Amino acid sequence: MAKRITKRSDDYSQWYLDVVKEAQLAEHSPVRGSMVIRPTGMALWENMRNALDQMFKDTGHENAYFPLFIPKSFLSKEAQHVEGFAKECAVVTHSRLKSVDGGVEVDPDSRLEEELIVRPTSETIIWDTYRNWIQSYRDLPILVNQWANVVRWEMRTRLFLRTMEFLWQEGHTAHATKEEAVEETLQMLEIYRTFAEEFMAMPVVTGVKTASERFAGAEDTYCIEALMQDGKALQAGTSHFLGQNFAKAFEVTFQDKDGDHKLVWATSWGVSTRLIGGLIMTHSDDNGLVLPPKLAPRQIVIVPIYRSDEEREMVLAYGESLLNELKEHGIRAHMDTRDTYKPGFKFAEHEARGIPLRIAIGPRDVENNKVEWARRDTLSKEITEREGLGARAAELLNTIQQDLYDRALARRSEMTSEVETYEEFKEVLEQKGGFIYAHWDGTAETEERIKNETKATIRCIPLTEATPGTCMVTGKASKQKVLFARAY
RNA sequence: CGGGGAGUGGCGCAGUCCGGUAGCGCAUUCGCUUUGGGAGCGAAGGGUCGCAGGUUCAAAUCCUGUCUCCCCGACCA
């Protein structure tokens, strides 16, 4: 049977869509730009969520839940913020339908006095709430996160990478001092970096956004930027130092030890289901999805092979014992006992779905007390003794996790360039793509010019040692090289 | 939101130009044979042709509107 997945070299966008579909992660819904996340995709998101949630809890954060609907007036309280989101808000204007010969229509009598906005992000309603929670320095800090869905009315959508409704977490913290808020912002950035690298096996560059790429309402936006296989960058997470902007807009003050009333300092930070898109485009190949073991809903699948009923019974019993041992080692293992598919079909299917390790067992293996392992990432096979199965499995999963990261890092290094002149910059961008470090004079004008002329944007100003130089475009002074790329 | 392409059983497509009452492959169901890399043969089921109007004796096909998807652009996590 023909491959169902378009080759990356033929059409990268189509390949991405094919992988999402064949791995059964998600599909389009009847509503424009909105997706159905299928059980496999949701299980993957849940694993990401659980890991992140634990990291948040370990750093003193608590979960809460704020409403989906935000009064329209709240959005207009912070000027920058409104401007950033005004163009992509879903608005609820009515509260009722009425039946009209066989169908329904909006009941004009049910018009809301004040329209409700479906949250594009929750800063406004949260800060309106925090005003009541905060009186004294003793009430600070407030370290709250919420797991929620948000809606942004996007013009152009792609599964996971940009959908009108998506799942995410948004952390919102309030602090007595600027230093503490900045520290929180950077701490969460570091958590995102750790998560991306250790769980997703996806190397990222941490940095701060330029003014034009900054979150609406933030003083500083920090980010993690990853590089996809096709040489385009993906913003994978953001952490914002909000200064006192929302405190001012929502009049959130506290009485400090010295008796003075002061405005609180704020942060917010988030990652979304977009991470799944990043995960796909970091590791997957022409056979389908490749998942890092730490996040894979199923880490190992056992495929039994048999002819007769006697063989079936024997092989399945052997498989059960393997399954039990794997589970005792805390491994998420599954045996594919479906009787109506041939092993070859199962191999291909589990590969498309990205299960990191496959164990195939047949009558020969049962007789010789062996197992055949197949790694999803390298597509390599080996046969070992059954003895020590659990330990071997754990070791292989660790190796795969590490190898995925190493390969992604090597690819990124290979796809990262450093240039001195604008000519060189344009050439590298056209020929090779990827991350490009170059000097920039720090002005929005130059940034805009580069973007218009090359479609490359400044992904971030990296948080590394700054070596001064001169701007590749204007020749003016530059504090340090910044990271450019074409981006998703 | 602008430009281009596309919507026909679950999936992929032909049929549309030139109107005549829907077909192919895969998948599904049943039977038999199979099973170490996407099984074979036989039989069966399944579609108001995205949706809504219009033209016509007759519409998948022509006209108008509308929704959704893909690609490119502007905007954005």
- pLDDT 10s digits, A118-175: 999 999 999 999 999 999 999 999 999 999 999 998 888 899 999 999 999 999 999 9
State phi, psi for A163 to the nearest 5 degrees. Answer: -125, 160
What proportion of chain A, given as a percentage, has pLDDT over 70? Answer: 99
CA of A274 to C1' of B56 (A): 51
Nearest protein residue by Cα to C1' of nucleotide B26: A1
| Pairing relationship of beta strands A416-418 and A435-439 according to DSSP bridges | parallel
Please write the tens of the pLDDT for every residue from A335-372. 999 988 999 999 999 999 999 999 999 999 999 999 99
Average pLDDT over residues A437-443: 95
Please write the tens of the pLDDT for every residue from A50-78. 999 999 999 999 999 999 999 999 988 98
Residues 77-96 of chain A within 7 A of strand B, judged by CB, are: 84, 87-88
Contact yes or no for A5/A287 (Cβ under 8 A): yes
Q: Would you say domain A416-485 falls under CATH 3.30.110.30?
A: yes
Average pLDDT over residues A398-416: 97
Cα–Cα nearest to A66, from A4, A149, A179, A174? A149
**Nucleotides of chain B touched by protein CB (<7 A):** 1-2, 26-29, 34-39, 67-77
* Per-residue three-class SS string for chain A: CCCCCCCCCCCHHHHHHHHHHHCCCEEECCCCCCEEECHHHHHHHHHHHHHHHHHHHHCCCEECCCCCEEEHHHHCCCHHHHHHHHHHCEEEEECCEEEECCEEEECHHHEEEEEEEECCCCHHHHHHHHHHHCCEHHHCCEEEEEEEEEECCCCCCECCCECCEEEEEEEEEEECCHHHHHHHHHHHHHHHHHHHHHHCCCCCEEEECCHHHCCCCCCEEEEEEEECCCCCEEEEEEEEEEECHHHHHCCCEEECCCCCEEECEEEEEEEECHHHHHHHHHHCECCECCCCCCCCCCCEEEEECCCCHHHHHHHHHHHHHHHHHHHHCCCCEEECCCCCCCHHHHHHHHHHCCCCEEEEECHHHHHHCEEEEEECCCCCEEEEECCCHHHHHHHHHHHHHHHHHHHHHHHHHHCEEECCCHHHHHHHHHHCCCEEEEECCCCHHHHHHHHHHHCCEEEEEECCCCCCEECCCCCCEECCEEEEECEC
Q: Which residues of A50-65 are buried (b: 16+ CB within 10 A; e: fewer)?
A: ebbbebbeeeebeeee
State phi, psi for A77 to the nearest 5 degrees. Answer: -75, -30
Report if CB A307 to strand B is under 7 Å: yes
Count CB neighbours of A256 within 10 A: 14
Report if CB A380 to strand B is under 7 Å: no
What proportion of chain A, given as a percentage, has pLDDT over 90? Answer: 80
CA of A426 to C1' of B73 (A): 20
Q: What is the pLDDT of residue A1?
A: 35
Average pLDDT over residues A281-291: 95
Average pLDDT over residues A4-19: 86
The pLDDT-based confidence of A37 (bands split at 50, 70, 90) is very high
The pLDDT-based confidence of A29 (bands split at 50, 70, 90) is confident
The pLDDT-based confidence of A79 (bands split at 50, 70, 90) is confident
Report if CB A26 to strand B is under 7 Å: no
A318 contacts: CB under 8 Å, gap ≥ 6: A304, A361, A365, A366
Q: Picking from A5-19, A234-248, A391-405, which range would have the lowest pLDDT averaged per residue?
A: A5-19
CA of A101 to C1' of B58 (A): 30
Cα–Cα nearest to A238, from A216, A253, A257, A262? A216
Q: What is the pLDDT of residue A40?
A: 93
Instruction: Please state which CATH number belongs to domain A300-399.
Output: 3.40.50.800
| A358: nearest nucleotide, CA–C1' criterion | B37
List beta partners, residue A111. A94
Tell whether omega for the bond before A293 is within 30 degrees of 0, i.e. cis: no
State phi, psi for A48 to the nearest 5 degrees. Answer: -65, -45
State phi, psi for A345 to the nearest 5 degrees. Answer: -65, -45
Count CB neighbours of A141 within 10 A: 20
User: Within 13 A of A222's CA, how many CA atoms are on the CB side?
Assistant: 26
The residue extents of the domains of chain A are: 22-283, 300-399, 416-485
Tell me the Cα Rg of chain A. Answer: 26
| A160: nearest nucleotide, CA–C1' criterion | B77
Q: What is the pLDDT of residue A32?
A: 81
State phi, psi for A22 to the nearest 5 degrees. Answer: -70, -30
The pLDDT-based confidence of A2 (bands split at 50, 70, 90) is very low
CA of A454 to C1' of B28 (A): 51
Which pair of structure tokens corresponds to residue A115? 């329209």
Q: What is the pLDDT of residue A103?
A: 67
A409 contacts: CB under 8 Å, gap ≥ 6: A203
Count CB neighbours of A464 within 10 A: 13
State phi, psi for A108 to the nearest 5 degrees. Answer: -60, -20
Alpha-carbon gap, residue A328 to A318, rounded angstroms: 16
Q: What is the pLDDT of residue A302?
A: 97
Average pLDDT over residues A90-110: 80
pLDDT at A438 > cutoff 90: yes
Q: What is the pLDDT of residue A363?
A: 95
pLDDT at A272 > cutoff 50: yes
Architecture of domain A22-283: 2-Layer Sandwich (3.30)
